[in-house]
Structure 1
Amino acid sequence: MKYFGYLSFGHHAIGHQSGPDAGESLTQAVELARRADAIGVNGAYFRVHHFAPQHSSPMSLLGAVAGATENLEVGTGVIDMRYENPLHLAEEAATLDLVSRGRVALGVSRGSPEPARRGWEAFGYTAEAPDGRDMARQKFLRLLAAADGEAMAVSDTLENQYPQMYHPGVGLPVFPQSPTLRRHIWWGAGSHATAEQAAHDGVNLMSSTLVSEADGSSLGDLQAEQIERYRAAWKEAGHPWTPRVSVSRSVFPIVTGRDRELFGTLASGDQVGSLGEGVPVTFGGTYAAEPDKLVEQLRADAAVMSADTLMLTIPNPMGVEVNASILENFARHVAGELGWRPGAPDTDLTGLE
């Protein structure tokens, strides 16, 4: 593990529920990012869900976080491509990448089950597959093509307005173009097969908070195999750069009495369940222990040690102080023992294959 950040699901209260409301949750997200940047945390990543009281359209938030920080990588984990216009997303992501000086980690995927039944149809999109995977795949490839600067449209007879730029019939890319965006795109993979596909597509890997394999092995071992297959497929594809790989874990260092009161009973093992699609999945457990025990446990987690980036899933409704304390305790007492490098992550990590 070389880098660590945090993954926020952006839960907020609605109606008469207790906890921060949507506005407070967003304001707190920016403040936590400031605190994390000061600590040396490498990245802030935000889960995206639709038709739920969580983060939904993240680019405004990422822009605010990037503007409030100096070194923090800002990203998504992940954007559901079924709900996206890929060209609009390419424009927004390139703008953010340029404004942030290359600090974007654009995590996308087919998406997990949403509260709404075929909710993407309400956004104006249709798919043949019941889960929308065919449409998500098509949009993803179009996003990559747009990020690569390929022509997405053909110029009209506007040479009188832009005589130096356009002639009729010329292919037009979307603008702006960021030279680093393409290497800052990640695929959120929930299976070995999708991880291998991500390698062939030439994007970084965000190994999900669960995997759709369940053979009795731990999540760490299953993800380590997924990462191994991904890197082998990357090498086979012959891409001329070295990708990054992240995994997510719930980790709570217990340093003070308050930590023990809040998190002392949360430790749990992996579980096997289902997301309602008829496929058994392995969910990760929760690490909650004193720092020396956490170091030992995380060193024994094959996926954590194989990945270059660890994302800590945080309980964002508990507020800035609690979550900043989790990050600071991890940075001060755990991360260094696992090989942590504070500051802005390198885009190209050589030697990982």
Structure 2
Amino acid sequence: MTKKIGFLSFGHWQDAPGSRTRSAADALHQTIELAEAAEELGVDGAYVRVHHFERQLASPFPLLSAIAARTRRIEIGTGVIDMRYENPLYMAEEAAATDLIAGGRLQLGVSRGSPEIALNGAESFGYRPGDGRTAADLARAKTELFLAAIDGAAVATTDPQRAGVRAGLAIQPQAPGLRERIWWGSGTRGTAVWAAEQGMNLQSSTLLSEDTGEPFDRLQAEQIRAYRAAWAEHEHGRRPRISVSRSVLPVTSELDRRYFGTRGEGDQVGLLEGVRARFGRTYVGEPDAIAAELAADEAVREADTVLFTVPNQLGVEYNARILETITRHVAPAIGWAPATAAASSELTM
């Protein structure tokens, strides 16, 4: 299986010494430029994180549409949209329009969301779970309505006085195939199983909100295998896609050493919202050493797509160089080949 790779940008901006991304405008324009550079390098995907009330990217659809208009091949996506904040039907319209602009390249990651700076932030947008329901319940219910809407289900009815009959209405526009390109960002084995039951692809989080004492990659691989087993029990009619994210900072220059040092960090374990959680490690070092470590990573071996997080505040040129190093020295070791090379390989099989 030839793997796909992509970059994942958190889209931070800060008017601070050393930052090359000082404003929201910088973050948006530079993300578009980095997607163009990544496409030229043969990278398969350009993904963005979505966070509200922080100096990060928060409005994915205008940004993804702009990337789509400036590129031709690269997949565009999110990792992830917090569904607690969304109007599912309006989001379905936005997603369909973006996918049509992109020519079917949208890979949309959604989820319950991650810990955030805002206290009950979704309530400021007008959404609360209701009595006896949790934030996770709210996110799942909205996701189910969103999935039905992009699948063409009737979500409203005509006015008989104007239409002459009462009939169901689907959202417009519709984007063929979009339903199969929705991903659920999962932080536990249980939510991975739920994603499989719903027929969504899996984005396994860099933060797992459970800890068994196993190393992060093994725990994540267990999650992926649980997802695959649940998928096999349902008739979805296709093979699912599964992605994992890794923080990879290859050191090839003295500037890299000043920024990152020469050694990465191991797994981190701690309490998050009262739950013991495990965070994935950061890979720092010589490209060949990182390649060997990733090739031995159990979850990387299980996944078909690997997203590499980028330090976006260091600017487009610096991050494009990181991606070039990854494509030349790291990604081939985990089973990736540039799109043209992969296509030629498949034709000769």
| Residue in 2 that maps onto 1:151 | 154
Q: Structure 1 runs of 4+ off > 6 angstroms?
A: none
Q: Percent identity?
A: 53
Counterpart Cα distance in 2 of 1:222 and 1:25: 33
Letter in structure 2 aligned against 1:77? G
Q: CA deviation at 1:238?
A: 2.1
1:24 aligns with 2:21: no
Q: 1:218, CA displacement in angstroms?
A: 1.1
Question: What is the CA-CA distance between 1:256 and the residue it aligns to?
Answer: 3.0
Residue of structure 1 in register with 2:193 after alignment: 196
| Structure 1 Cα separation of the partners of residues 253 and 88 of structure 2 | 46
Q: Does 1:137 align with 2:140?
A: yes
Work out which of the residue numbers 230, 244, 247 in structure 2 matches 1:247.
244
1:215 and 2:217 are equivalent in the alignment: no
Picking from 299, 310, 316, the partner of 2:312 is 316
SS at 1:240's partner residue? coil
Equivalent position SS for 2:233: helix
The whole-number CA distance in structure 2 between the counterparts of 1:14 and 1:273 is 31
Report the Cα distance in structure 2 between the residues aligned to 1:13 and 1:130, rounded to whole angstroms: 37
Structure 2 residue aligned with 1:232, among 226, 229, 234? 229
Q: Deviations over 1:241-275 (max 9, x none)?
A: 01100001101122333333332345110010122
Report matched runs for 1:220-299 at 5 Å.
220-275=217-272, 277-299=273-295
Query: How far does the alpha carbon of each residue in 1:217-254 deviate from its partner, in whole angstroms, 9 at most, with x for none?
Result: 11110110000010010001121001100001101122
Looking at structure 2, the residues matched to 274 and 323 of structure 1 have their Cα atoms a distance apart, in angstroms, of 32
Question: Could you say what secondary structure the match of 2:259 adopts?
Answer: helix
Q: Tell me what 2:100 maps to.
A: 98
Q: Superposition RMSD on alpha carbons, in Å?
A: 2.0
**Alpha-carbon distance, 1:130 to partner:** 7.6
- Which range moves more in the overlay, 285-294 or 31-40? 285-294
Report what 1:162 is aligned to: none
Q: Superposition pairs for residues 176-191 of structure 1, below 5 Å? A: 176-191=173-188
AA matched with 2:41? I
Query: For residue 140 of structure 2, what is the amino acid of its counterpart?
Result: R
* Contact 1:72–1:343, Cα closer than 8 Å, also in 2: no
Moved more, 262-271 or 60-69: 262-271
Query: Secondary structure of the residue that 1:174 maps to in structure 2?
Result: coil
Counterpart residue type for residue 284 of structure 1: G
- In the alignment, the residues of structure 2 paired with residue 10 and residue 167 of structure 1 have an alpha-carbon distance, to the nearest angstrom, of 49
Give the number of equivalent residue pairs. Answer: 339
Distance 2:16 2:314 in 1: 18
Residue identity opposite 1:295 in structure 2: A
| Matched AA of 1:240 | G
SS in 1 for 2:339: coil
Matches within 5 A, 1:323-338: 323-338=319-334
Conservation of the 8 A alpha-carbon contact between 1:97 and 1:180: no
Structure with the larger helix share: 2
From 74, 77, 80, give the equivalent of 1:78: 80
Q: CA offset at residue 15 of structure 1?
A: 8.7
The 2-side partners of 1:175 and 1:223 are apart by: 38
For the structure 1 residues 316 and 20, does the alpha-carbon distance in structure 2 shift closer, same or farther, using more than 3 Å as the test? same
Q: Which moved more, 1:264-273 or 1:223-232?
A: 264-273
Q: Is the 8 A contact 1:71 1:343 kept in 2?
A: no
Q: What SS does structure 1 have at the residue aligned with 2:79?
A: strand
Structure 1 equivalent of residue 347 of structure 2: none
Amino acid at match of 1:201: Q
Question: What amino acid is aligned across from residue 135 of structure 1 in structure 2?
Answer: L
Shift of the alpha carbon at 1:180?
1.0
Letter in 1 for 2:251: I
TM superposition shift of 1:131: 5.3
Structure 2 gap segments, 5+ residues each: 343-349
Counterpart in the other structure of 1:13: 14
CA contact (8 A) 2:263 2:285 kept: no
How many Å separate the matches in 1 of 2:43 and 2:156? 41
Amino acid at match of 2:116: E
